[in-house]
Each structure stands twice: as structure tokens, then as C-alpha cells.
């Protein structure tokens, strides 16, 4: 079984660990650089990205994590985790640090201007078995994605200016996966299975 860490500084760590185990991995919490060195991949949970970026610095994990991702370690970020993995976050605090694992620009709390939290059924590329129920909580969206980034899911609807339809909410670039929503909260482990597969292939 691949050993997959869950960054355990803040956020819904337990939920991710449960889903990873159900998807066939061994899940371990990561709080220290030595723990990071011991995992085959890492999940960055949802929470609050500014706080998590500060905690990453305090726990001396920011540089080692950035280095491991640059070396090709698989990573999966949900919500705040997606924000941390992006190369740039709009509407962030000036001191927010980025892990630069995905060539995407995200906008924080992007849907929140209209509605704080909502749920949608999404078509998710690479996930078999029908639409995926997605829970969005003060979620970001992907405002720009580079050429090397595969778009896996968008919100339903049309891309009218200022509207929330057709927004990019799941991406993959090589072994790095991110969702604007929380697959750890719905009891459906298909996205975690996809990530475990990426870890096995790496
Ligand atoms: N709004 C949070 C942020 O910007 C993310 C919310 C979440 O992870 N559910 O960090």
C-alpha cells in the first residue's frame, strides 16, 4: 500500500485519512519535515489557506514541501489545499505563500460573492461511474490554467461574464491534483482513488 501523508496543521485531516484508507492507501499525518520525507504523496486539506501558509512556515515545512513537489512527489489539494498548490492566488493576503505545484491562478472565495457554500453534481474527467456530488465551502475557482494543466471538472452552466457557470473547479498537472470542492466530505472515494493511482504510478 502506498503511504500517503495528510498535512495535519489545520483543516479536515481526519476525513481525508479515512477516504485514503478506503481508497487503498496507508494514511499518516504530516507535521514535521522528517514525516514529509517518509511519504509517497501528500494531501493538503481544506481549511484556511492564509493560516495554513503561515503554519507551513512555522513548522518549517514550506521549503521542503515545495522542493518535494518540484521533484515530482504527487500531491492532492482540496479547496485551501488547491489555493496553496497554485502558482498564484488572487484576493489573497500579501504574505500568503504559494507552493507553485500547479500552473494555475486561483481566485479565493470566488463563489462566495454570490453564495457562501453550495453543492453540485459534476462531470469529472477520469472518474468512472457517473457524476460526482461536490460540496463547495467558500471555495476558490481556477481563473487561469496553463497549457500543461488538464481541466477535470467545471461547474455546470455557461461561461457568462460575472456568472458562476463553467468555472474550472478540478485540475491535474502530472502527479498534482486539485479540487476547489471537498471530496473528503461526501463518502464517495472516487477522487481519492484517482489520487492513489497517481501515487502508485509515480
Ligand atoms: N476560503 C478558504 C481559503 O481561502 C478555503 C475554504 C476551504 O478550504 N473550505 O483559504
ipTM of this predicted structure: 0.94
Cβ neighbours, 10 Å, residue 83: 33
- Closest alpha carbon to 50 in 101, 6, 9: 9
**Any known ligand binding at 126?**
no
Q: What is the pLDDT of residues 52-81, one digit of tens each?
A: 999 999 999 999 999 999 999 999 999 999
What pLDDT score was predicted for residue 113?
62
Q: Which helix (H) or strand (E) holds 154?
A: strand 150-154
What pLDDT score was predicted for residue 95?
84
Q: What is the pLDDT of residues 172-187, one digit of tens each?
A: 999 999 999 999 999 9
Q: How confident is the model at residue 147 (pLDDT cuts 50, 70, 90)?
A: very high
Q: Is 182 an active-site residue?
A: yes
Entry pTM: 0.96
pLDDT(160) > 80 = no
* Summary mean pLDDT of the chain: 95
- The best mutation among 16, 140, 180 to test binding of ligand 1, ranked by most ligand atoms within 8 Å of the C-beta, falls on 140
Task: State the architecture of 3-201 in CATH terms.
Answer: 3-Layer(aba) Sandwich (3.40)
Between the CA of 109 and the centroid of ligand 1 the distance, in Å, is: 7
Q: Which residue among 15, 16, 184, 189 is the active-site one?
A: 184
128: cell is 468512472
Please state, in angstroms and rounded to a whole number, the distance separating the CA atoms of residues 202 and 190: 19
CA distances from 102 to 15, 19, 126, 141, 147 (A): 24, 23, 18, 13, 11
Amino acid at each position: 500500500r502506498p503511504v500517503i501523508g495528510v498535512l495535519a496543521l489545520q483543516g479536515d485531516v481526519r476525513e481525508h485519512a479515512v477516504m485514503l484508507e478506503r481508497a487503498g492507501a496507508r494514511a499518516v499525518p504530516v507535521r514535521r519535515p522528517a514525516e514529509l520525507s517518509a511519504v509517497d504523496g501528500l494531501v493538503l486539506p481544506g481549511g484556511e489557506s492564509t493560516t495554513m501558509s503561515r503554519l507551513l512556515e512555522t513548522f518549517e515545512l514550506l521549503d521542503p514541501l515545495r522542493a518535494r513537489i518540484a521533484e515530482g512527489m504527487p500531491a492532492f489539494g482540496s479547496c485551501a489545499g488547491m489555493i496553496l498548490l497554485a502558482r498564484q492566488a488572487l484576493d489573497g493576503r500579501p504574505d500568503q505563500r504559494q507552493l507553485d505545484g500547479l500552473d494555475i491562478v486561483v481566485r479565493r472565495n470566488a463563489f462566495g460573492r454570490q453564495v457562501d457554500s453550495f453543492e453540485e453534481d459534476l462531470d469529472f474527467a477520469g472518474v468512472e461511474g457517473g457524476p460526482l456530488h461536490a460540496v463547495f465551502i467558500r471555495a476558490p475557482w481556477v481563473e487561469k490554467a496553463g497549457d500543461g494543466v488538464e481541466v477535470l471538472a467545471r461547474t455546470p452552466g455557461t461561461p457568462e461574464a460575472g456568472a458562476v457557470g463553467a468555472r474550472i473547479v478540478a485540475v491535474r498537472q502530472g502527479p498534482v491534483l486539485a479540487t476547489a470542492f471537498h471530496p473528503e466530505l461526501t463518502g464517495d472515494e472516487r477522487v481519492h482513488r484517482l489520487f492513489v493511482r497517481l501515487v502508485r504510478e509515480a
